C-alpha cells in the first residue's frame, strides 16, 4: 500500500515538473528576441536622388509681367519679380473655367487688358492642364490652349482670363479668394515704376512685349560640380546590376543593359539616354507630355538647378525645361558647350530620349553688367540684317549663351546675355552687327 502511494506521488511530481517545464518553454518562446543582423537597404531605382524634386506649379511659371496703365505699359522679364507676383494667384482658389464669346458678351482683348496685369507664358499651355497646375475647383472641360493670362479686377468678383492670342480665344475663371489689397501692393511695388514696354506684332498670330529702353543684364561666371554618372545609371535602368560600362569612339562613357543606352560626354558635361521603342504608334496629348516629362524628372529628383518649362511639341513628342541663371534663361545654339535644357522625348507613349547637362552650378564669382539694345533697336536691327522672316517670328527674349572657360577643372562656365529670337520653332541668337561682320 505504501509502495503504491509512493509511486502515485512520484507520478504527480513528474507531471508537475513536465507542466512547469512546458510553461517555462512556452514563456521562453514568446519572450525570446533574437539579435538579427541588419539587412542591407534595398534602394529602388525610383528612390535614386540626383538633385531636388519640384512641384509642377514651380517649374511652370509665366516669364513676363505687364501692367497696362493709363500712361502706357510697364513690365518686367526678371524671373524673381514675375514669379513673386504670380505666387499670390497660385495660392488662390478658382471657379469653373468657361469660354467667353466676344460677339455675345462684348469682350475684346484690347479692352480687357486696360489697367490690368497680364502674364505671358513661355509656350502655349493646354487648358486641360489647369486643374493640375492651379487650384481649380473642378476638372477643366475646355480643349483649347492659352499663352497669356489677364488678372481682371474690373468686375465685382475678380477673375483670371486665359487667352490664346493666335486663336483669338478667351476663357475665364472666377478667383474665389484673391487678396486684392496684397496683389495691388505687389503690382505697385514691382510694375508701377518698372521700365516702359511696348507691343510688337511681327505677324497676325504673335504679340511680343519688349522694353522701350536699353536693358542692363549681368554677364556671369560660375564654378560647377560634376554629377555622378553612377547615380544616373541607377536611376535610368530598371536593373543596374545588369548594366555594362564601355568607352565610345569619341571617348564618351557608355552604359547599356543590352537594350537601353546611356552616353556620358564628360568633356561636354552632357548626358544622353536612349530607350529604343519597337513601334511608333500612338501620341501623347500636350497635357500628358508635360505631366509625364515632369514626373519622369521628378522621380529621380533631377532638378539640379533652376529649370522652367519652356517648350513642348505635339509633332515632336517632347518637352523641354530650360535652365535659368539668375533672372534669365539659358538658350542652346549650334556648337554651344553642354546642354541648357532637360529634354525628354516620347515614342509610343514611352520615354524615348533624355538629354541634359551633367553638372550643377556651385559658386558665382564674377559679375559684370552688359547693356543690351532696346526693343526698338532690336527690331530695327533684325529688319536691317534680314536674318529673320517676321512672319515666322514667334517670340523674343533676353537669354544667356553658355561657354566653358578653357583649361578649367572643375569646369568654369561663363554666361553672356544676348537677345534670342524664336523663329520656326527654333531659338536663335540675334547676331550683333559687329559680331556678324
Residues 102-145: tens digit of each pLDDT: 766 667 888 899 999 999 999 999 999 999 999 998 888 888 99
Calpha distance 128→143 (Å, rounded): 6
pLDDT in tens, 59-107: 999 999 999 999 999 999 999 999 999 999 999 999 999 999 876 666 7
Tens digits of residue pLDDT in 366-403? 899 999 999 999 999 999 988 899 999 999 999 999 98
Q: Where are the domains of the chain?
A: 56-214
- Chain mean pLDDT for the chain: 87
Residue 403 CA, chain-centre distance (Å), reads 22
Q: Tell me the pTM.
A: 0.86
Residue 235, Cβ density class (10 Å: 0-12 exposed, 13-18 middle, ≥19 buried): buried
The DSSP output letter for 191 is I
Q: Are 149 and 160 in contact (CB under 8 A)?
A: yes
pLDDT score recorded for residue 410: 84
- Retrieve residue 418's grid coordinates: 544676348
Q: Three-class SS of residue 204? A: coil
Amino acid at each position: 500500500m505504501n509502495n503504491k502511494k509512493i509511486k502515485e506521488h512520484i507520478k504527480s511530481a513528474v507531471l508537475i515538473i513536465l507542466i512547469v517545464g512546458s510553461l517555462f518553454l512556452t514563456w521562453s518562446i514568446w519572450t525570446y528576441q533574437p539579435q538579427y543582423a541588419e539587412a542591407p537597404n534595398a534602394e529602388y531605382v525610383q528612390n535614386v536622388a540626383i538633385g531636388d524634386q519640384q512641384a509642377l506649379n514651380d517649374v511652370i511659371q509665366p516669364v513676363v509681367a505687364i501692367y497696362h496703365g493709363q500712361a502706357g505699359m510697364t513690365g518686367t522679364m526678371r524671373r524673381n519679380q514675375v514669379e513673386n507676383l504670380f505666387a499670390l494667384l497660385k495660392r488662390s482658389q478658382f471657379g469653373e473655367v468657361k469660354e467667353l464669346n466676344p460677339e455675345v458678351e462684348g469682350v475684346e482683348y484690347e479692352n480687357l487688358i486696360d489697367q490690368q496685369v497680364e502674364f505671358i507664358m513661355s509656350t502655349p499651355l493646354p487648358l486641360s492642364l489647369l486643374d493640375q497646375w492651379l487650384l481649380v475647383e473642378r476638372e477643366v472641360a475646355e480643349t483649347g490652349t492659352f499663352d497669356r493670362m489677364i488678372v481682371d479686377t474690373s468686375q465685382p468678383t475678380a477673375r483670371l482670363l486665359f487667352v490664346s492670342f493666335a486663336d483669338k480665344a478667351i476663357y475665364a475663371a472666377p478667383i474665389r479668394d484673391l487678396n486684392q489689397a496684397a496683389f495691388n501692393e505687389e503690382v505697385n511695388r514691382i510694375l508701377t515704376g518698372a521700365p516702359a514696354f511696348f507691343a510688337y506684332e511681327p505677324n497676325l498670330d504673335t504679340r511680343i512685349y519688349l522694353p522701350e529702353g536699353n536693358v542692363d543684364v549681368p554677364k556671369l561666371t560660375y564654378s560647377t560640380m560634376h554629377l555622378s554618372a553612377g547615380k544616373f545609371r541607377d536611376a535610368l535602368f530598371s536593373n543596374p546590376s545588369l548594366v555594362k560600362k564601355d568607352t565610345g569612339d569619341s571617348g564618351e562613357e557608355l552604359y547599356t543593359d543590352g537594350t537601353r543606352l546611356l552616353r556620358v560626354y564628360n568633356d561636354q558635361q552632357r548626358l544622353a539616354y536612349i530607350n529604343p521603342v519597337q513601334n511608333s504608334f500612338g501620341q501623347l496629348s500636350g497635357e500628358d507630355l508635360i505631366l509625364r516629362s515632369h514626373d519622369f524628372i521628378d522621380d529621380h529628383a533631377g532638378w539640379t538647378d533652376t529649370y522652367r518649362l519652356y517648350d513642348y511639341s505635339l509633332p515632336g513628342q517632347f518637352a523641354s525645361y530650360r535652365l535659368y541663371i539668375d533672372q534669365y534663361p539659358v538658350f542652346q545654339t549650334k556648337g554651344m558647350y553642354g546642354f541648357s535644357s532637360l529634354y525628354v522625348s516620347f515614342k509610343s507613349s514611352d520615354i524615348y530620349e533624355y538629354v541634359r547637362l551633367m553638372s550643377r552650378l556651385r559658386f558665382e564669382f564674377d559679375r559684370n553688367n552688359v547693356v543690351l539694345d532696346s526693343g526698338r533697336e532690336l527690331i530695327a536691327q533684325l529688319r536691317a540684317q534680314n536674318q529673320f522672316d517676321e512672319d515666322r517670328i514667334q517670340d523674343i527674349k533676353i537669354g544667356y549663351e553658355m561657354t566653358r572657360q578653357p583649361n578649367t577643372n572643375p569646369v568654369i562656365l561663363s554666361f553672356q546675355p544676348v537677345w534670342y529670337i524664336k523663329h520656326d520653332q527654333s531659338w536663335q541668337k540675334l547676331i550683333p552687327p559687329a559680331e556678324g561682320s
